[in-house]
Structure 1
Amino acid sequence: MTSVNRSKPTAVGIDFGGTSVKISSLSNLLSDQREEPKILLTSDFKTVDSLTSEMVKTVNQFMKEDEVVAVGCGVPGLVDFDNGHIHMLTNVPGWNDVALKDILEKELNIPIFVDNDANCMAYAEYRYGAARGCSNVVALTLGTGIGGGLIIDGKLYRGSNFAAGELGNFSIDYQGPENTYGLKGALECYMGNKQICELAEKEFIDMKMPDGGWTPERVTDLALEGNIAAIAIWDQIADWLASALASTAWLLNPDAFVVGGGVAKAGHFLFDPLTEKIKNQVSDVISNDLKILPAFFGNESGMIGSSAQALDCWKKENNQTSS
């Protein structure tokens, strides 16, 4: 890790996932000559104590090189943002009911901010990405599941119990299949990675299965080759997604929808029909200035969003202006 300019305060972002934990500073992530983040394999650590100890050790390395004033951590689950308390994490055993903020603050002696990872993605796109300059943003990630984050009047909106923005639980068919919460026709029942692969298997039943099986990327590859059936799959995905987002547009009247995750890599095969279908279902008052945008950041959005949010919170508490 090379020496960096200590004249400006920065924050460290931790992106905590079921497979890996990625850690870097905001100053590094936004640099033209950035270094690779530190990556920890989640499965290498069998206890909360062992993983948090390694997090502390890694953050301390950044603190030796930079003026780190706060740490942000994005996690895949339900979080009490005010207290930095993790209620439960998706696909990370042993991480239910963990006071992560208290654990890290005790060791690092700087403010710690813990939030849902989709909120961190939304904040990254709002502050530095596709939705920079917008005040009202709905961001969602489409991958194994569907996550969402809301920016309202320039602030993250988390709801009364910090559970707002879960667009995957938006019903698009009151007679549809039930999700894990008993909600009929939830969006996540139709268009995660698994569901897209199942659509491909049915559509291309006579086609030899690609090496490694079907993936959304393979469907996009076929669409790029001009395959009508593959293009139709993305049109169907756009139809389902537009149903949820058009309803959201009526509810929130956002400046922009930002769509990220692996599914968003379908590019114009998804975004062209999605834009048309949303605008056909809302008033011109809503649609005229509405933007439907692919996310600017990829896998680094969790680190950028968590660290940016931590730094902005620190600046607010210390009466400094965010830039």
Structure 2
Amino acid sequence: MDKKFAIGIDIGGTKVAVGLVTPEGQVADTVKVPSDVSDAESLFACVVEAVETILKNNHLSIKQIIGIGVGLPGKVNVTNGIAVFQNNIPWEQFPLVERFRAVFGDLPIKIDNDVKVAAYAEYRLLQLPADAMFGYITVSTGIAATNIINNHILRGSGFAGEIGFMPVRSFGRTSSLEFSCAGPAIARYGQQLYVDESINAEKVFDNWRNGDHSATVIVENTINGLADAIQNMVCLLDPQVIVLGGSVAIQNPDFVESILTVLKTRLHKEQAHILNNIVISKIEGNNGVIGSAFLVL
């Protein structure tokens, strides 16, 4: 039987995205539904229904599928296929692979952390040499990182890449990178400085572009924190390429250029090669689906 597609599933706290993905990383079709996070079983039923919908829409049976890959937030036991703990979805020690097999049968099924599968999509599509160190940093509601070499995601003891906990200087104090520099932090500082609860990160960036002093203070604080994080990755692992993902990076390329300007003043000359190889993700919203599918392709 000719099997053309794997199924990639990107599970988040607000939506579930399911896609049919070719071995080349092309997305043939997607289904997106709101996440039912009322309880563990409701969310599982929601995901199963989305998979069944995309199969039905494309006149496919599960026997025509290469495998199923899943990306989800939080801590994941990749070896045993268990969703260990997630802040924004109601799964704790949830045997996801086992439950999927009970519904869909004995086909390849793998799960991983959502940031890691997004990074894996970027890595596979770049087609880097096997021995090239790859880095990925997402800056959005949260901040996290992944490094990959020889098609192998670096995991440490299971919590590698959680750079959101990295200490940085922020407004004269030491706090975590995520608390200081993620999208909600930019909005929070904006609300404090403007004394306006309606201010969001997008408005802060707009004001920065218009030369507003308060916005400039906030954005420069964010630039310095993220420059610290990138410099730390470069010093520790010396990646050949670093891809920046997440809404804060993708929607603000001029902000990314400002980070590179700061990095240029900090990096050793032997590290300067990375300045031409820090790029913004060009995968338009499907890196979670593609990377999940790549787990079984």
TM-score class, shorter-chain normalisation, is 0.7 to 0.9
Confirm whether residue 85 of structure 1 aligns to residue 85 of structure 2. no
Q: Which amino acid aligns with 1:116?
A: N
Residue 83 of structure 1: SS of its match in structure 2? coil
Would the aligned equivalents of 1:171 and 1:244 in 2 still touch at CA under 8 Å? Answer: no
Q: Which runs of 5+ in 2 are unaligned?
A: none
1:60-209 to structure 2, matched below 5 A, reads: 60-63=52-55, 64-65=59-60, 67-93=64-90, 95-109=91-105, 110-128=107-125, 131-133=126-128, 135-160=132-157, 162-173=158-169, 185-205=175-195, 209=196
Mapped partners of 1:231, 1:125: distance in 2? 31
Equivalent position SS for 2:181: coil
Gaps (5+ residues) in structure 1? 1-5, 178-183, 312-323
Corresponding residue of 2:260: 275
Match of 1:251 among 223, 230, 236: 236
Question: CA RMSD for the aligned pairs?
Answer: 2.8
Superposed CA offset, 1:8-27 (max 9, x none):
53211111101111111113
**Cα-to-partner distance string for 1:86-145 (whole Å, 9 max, x where unaligned):** 11112113x1010101110222121111100000110111122xx553632221221222
Q: Distance in 2 between matches of 1:175 and 1:40?
A: 40
Contact 1:29 1:304 in 2 (8 A): no
**Counterpart position of 1:318:** none
TM-score (normalised: structure 2): 0.85
Query: Separation in 2 of the partners of 1:124 and 1:62?
Result: 21
TM-score normalised to structure 1 length:
0.79
Greater percentage in strand: 2
Q: Pairwise mapping of residues 215-294 of structure 1 onto structure 2 (< 5 A)?
A: 215-227=200-212, 229-290=214-275, 291-294=277-280
Corresponding residue of 1:38: 31
1:211-262 Cα deviation digits (max 9, x unpaired) = x822222222233445454344323211111112111210000112221112
SS in structure 1 at match of 2:296: helix
Matched AA of 2:165: N
* SS in structure 2 of the partner of residue 149 of structure 1: strand
Work out the CA distance in 2 between the residues paired with 1:23 and 1:117.
Answer: 13
Check 1:153–1:29 CA distance in 2 against 1; reply closer, same or farther (3 A cut): closer
Residue matched to 1:310: 296
Residue number in structure 2 paired with 1:27: 22
- Amino acid in structure 1 at the alignment position of 2:269: D
Q: Distance in 2 between matches of 1:47 and 1:165?
A: 28
Structure 1 residues 201 and 51, CA gap change in structure 2 (3 angstroms): closer
2:4 is matched with which residue?
9
- Paired residues in the alignment total 288
Query: Aligned residue for 1:317?
Result: none
Task: Name the CA distance, whole Å, in 2 between partners of 1:29 and 1:197.
Answer: 38
2:286 aligns with 300
Q: Secondary structure at the match of 2:89?
A: coil
Secondary structure of residue in 1 paired with 2:168: coil
